[in-house]
Structures are given as structure tokens and as C-alpha cells.
């Protein structure tokens, strides 16, 4: 079989940065400094009942930057680190998130047909990493993940991806619905991978500018996202088990896109 060549100009606008050595920052002032320094913060865990001027300053900063905050019992914080966390721990992303609204026009300007992968509610870190690895190999131009209800892009995801998360842009969005509408308005076909589909991916047209949506194994793609799709496809399952693991399904779907595009 003749290998499909990689395009040398596939992602010239994206320059990966080395990942930091740690995934967490703890202590109120340390978190504030990390946010002000422009670190990519996945979320911040806070102990309920925190007060004082410094905490109020942190709360305002997190709210202004739109950073996800969760209030958790002290026991959970203590399990994460035994050091003096002052009731506050921040998870730092090992990747720098990209802006989807800037990325898509850049792709079109380069004469590239965008292939975007949207992950709706994928909560297993290892699945995120495995999907990213397949996506990078298949030439996906970006992953889109929600701020809430999704696994963290942490060092475990980076390791499982075999470094792919250092090479493929990741776009994080407050609302997947808004990002899907933006992609539709930008001329991308929205394709949902779901067992509810009547058409298989092998007979469906999987060419042209496209955004492919994968949902969680437990609940699938959310109804509000399904309503926005232009096409729904399924992977034929011939055995007794109802479906593939989501990362395996991603590989099958993406390489059918590669096959049709080539």
C-alpha cells in the first residue's frame, strides 16, 4: 500500500510549546500569579468557606478570566497534595489552548479544507490522549473540547497521546453549541458519529470542510449538538458487543475520512 504523504504545510501557524513539569499550582497567591502570568488553567478547586481580602481578589480574578471553579471538601484537596494548599489548588494545562474563531479563517486562507474533531463529554483522560494521537496522525487540524464536563488535558493525556497534544491545536469552548454554530456558519459540514444513524460512514460523503463530533460512551452526543448536525453516521458492528471504545471509533472514522479525501 502506498503511504499517504504528510503535507509539510498542514499546520504552519501552530508552534508547540514545551509542557510544564507540573500539573498543579496550590496556594491562593501562587494561583493568582499563575493566572496573571498567562498560564492555561483547566480549573481551580476551592475549599468552601474561604474568606479574606486575598481570597476575594482571587475570586474576582477567576471570574474575570472565566476560569472554571469547583468547591470541594478539604479531604479532596489533601488527597491531591499534602503541602499547605491554603484551600486552593489549580490544575495547569500542559497545552496552550487556541482560538477557534482565528484558526478556521487561517486554514481557509491557506487553501486547506478544515477537518475538526469535536469531543462532547469525553471524561476519560486516556481516551482523550488516544483520540488526539489518532487525530494527529490523520491530519486533523484541531480538537474542540468543552470547558466543563470533559476530561482534563493533563500530563496523563499528553503521555497517552504519545506527544500528539503538543502538535495538534486544542480549542476549549464554554459552549459546544456556539462553536458548532460558528463552524456551520464558516462552511463546515457537521457530522455526528452515533449509533442512532441509519447511514454508515462507508456510504456517507465524508469529504470537504468538516467537523466530526464524538460523544461519550455512556450518554453519546448531547441532543442539542445532534440537532445542529448536517449528517449522522454509524460504524457497522457485526459482533455481540454494541459499540467500539470511543478512541477506537475515532480511528475508524478519521481514517475513512482520510480514505475518501485521498
pLDDT single digits (tens) 218-248: 889 999 999 999 999 999 999 988 889 999 9
* Average of per-residue pLDDT across 174-178: 94
Measured between alpha carbons, how far is 106 from 114 in angstroms, rounded to an integer?
10
Burial class (CB in 10 A: 0-12, 13-18, 19+), 258: middle
pLDDT for 261 beyond 50: yes
pLDDT tens-place string over residues 90-101: 998 888 899 999
Q: What is the CA radius of gyration of the chain?
A: 20
pLDDT digits (tens, 9 = 90+) for 32-56: 998 988 888 889 999 999 999 999 9
**Is residue 62 a contact partner of residue 35, using CB atoms and an 8 Å limit?**
yes
CA end-to-end span of the chain: 13
Mean pLDDT of 133-150: 94
Chain CA centroid to CA 141, Å:
12
Residue 207 has pLDDT above 50, yes or no: yes
The answer to whether 47 and 77 have CB atoms below 8 angstroms apart is yes
pLDDT at site 39: 83
SS3 113: coil
Percent of the chain with pLDDT over 70: 92
Mode of pairing for the β-strands spanning 115-120 and 210-215: parallel
Does the domain spanning 100-261 belong to CATH 3.40.1280.10?
yes
Rounded distance between C-alpha atoms, residue 252 and residue 214, angstroms:
12
3-class DSSP assignment, residue 133: helix
Q: How far is CA 239 from each of CA 61, 196, 259, rounded to the nearest angstrom?
A: 52, 17, 24
Three cell numbers written together for 244? 467500539
Predicted pLDDT at 190: 98
What is the predicted pLDDT for the residue at 17?
Answer: 46
- Cα gap 50→226, rounded to integer Å: 40
Q: How would you list the strands of the sheet with 24-26, edge to edge?
A: 24-26, 88-92, 41-46, 69-71
Give the number of other Cβ atoms within 10 Å of residue 110's Cβ.
13
65: three-class secondary structure by DSSP: helix
CA distance 103 to 159: 25
**What are the sequence ranges of the domains in the chain?**
24-92, 100-261
Angle at 106 between CA 104 and CA 107, to 5 degrees: 65
Backbone φ, ψ for residue 176 (5° rounding): -60, -35
Percent of the chain surpassing pLDDT 90: 71
- Give CA angle at 231 (174, 235), nearest 5°: 100
Q: How far apart are alpha carbons 80 and 30 in whole angstroms? A: 16
pLDDT, position 37: 82
**Domain at 24-92: CATH code:** 3.30.1330.30
Locate 104 and state its grid cell.
478556521
Amino acid at each position: 500500500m502506498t503511504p499517504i504523504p504528510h503535507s509539510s504545510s498542514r499546520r504552519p501557524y501552530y508552534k508547540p510549546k514545551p509542557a510544564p513539569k507540573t500539573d498543579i499550582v496550590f496556594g491562593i497567591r501562587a494561583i493568582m500569579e499563575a493566572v496573571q502570568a498567562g498560564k492555561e488553567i483547566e480549573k481551580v478547586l476551592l475549599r468552601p468557606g474561604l474568606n479574606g481580602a486575598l481570597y476575594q481578589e482571587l475570586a474576582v480574578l477567576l471570574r474575570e478570566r472565566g476560569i472554571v471553579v469547583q468547591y470541594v471538601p478539604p479531604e479532596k484537596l489533601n488527597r491531591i497534595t499534602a503541602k499547605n494548599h491554603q484551600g486552593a489548588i489549580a490544575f495547569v494545562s500542559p497545552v496552550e489552548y487556541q482560538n477557534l474563531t482565528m484558526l478556521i479563517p487561517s486554514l481557509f486562507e491557506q487553501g486547506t479544507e478544515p477537518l475538526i474533531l469535536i469531543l462532547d463529554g469525553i471524561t476519560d483522560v486516556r481516551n482523550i490522549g488516544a483520540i488526539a494521537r489518532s487525530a494527529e496522525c490523520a491530519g486533523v487540524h484541531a480538537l474542540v473540547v468543552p470547558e466543563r464536563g470533559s476530561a482534563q488535558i493533563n500530563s496523563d493525556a499528553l503521555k497517552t497521546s504519545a506527544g500528539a497534544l503538543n502538535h495538534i491545536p486544542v480549542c476549549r469552548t464554554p459552549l459546544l453549541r456556539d462553536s458548532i454554530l460558528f463552524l456551520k456558519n464558516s462552511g463546515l459540514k457537521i457530522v455526528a458519529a452515533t449509533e442512532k444513524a441509519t447511514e454508515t460512514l462507508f456510504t456517507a460523503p465524508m469529504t470537504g470542510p468538516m467537523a466530526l463530533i464524538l460523544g461519550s460512551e455512556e450518554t453519546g452526543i448531547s441532543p442539542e449538538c445532534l440537532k445542529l448536525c448536517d449528517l449522522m453516521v454509524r460504524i457497522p458492528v457485526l459482533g455481540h458487543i454494541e459499540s467500539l471504545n470511543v478512541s477506537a471509533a475515532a480511528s475508524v472514522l478519521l481514517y475513512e475520512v482520510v480514505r475518501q479525501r485521498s
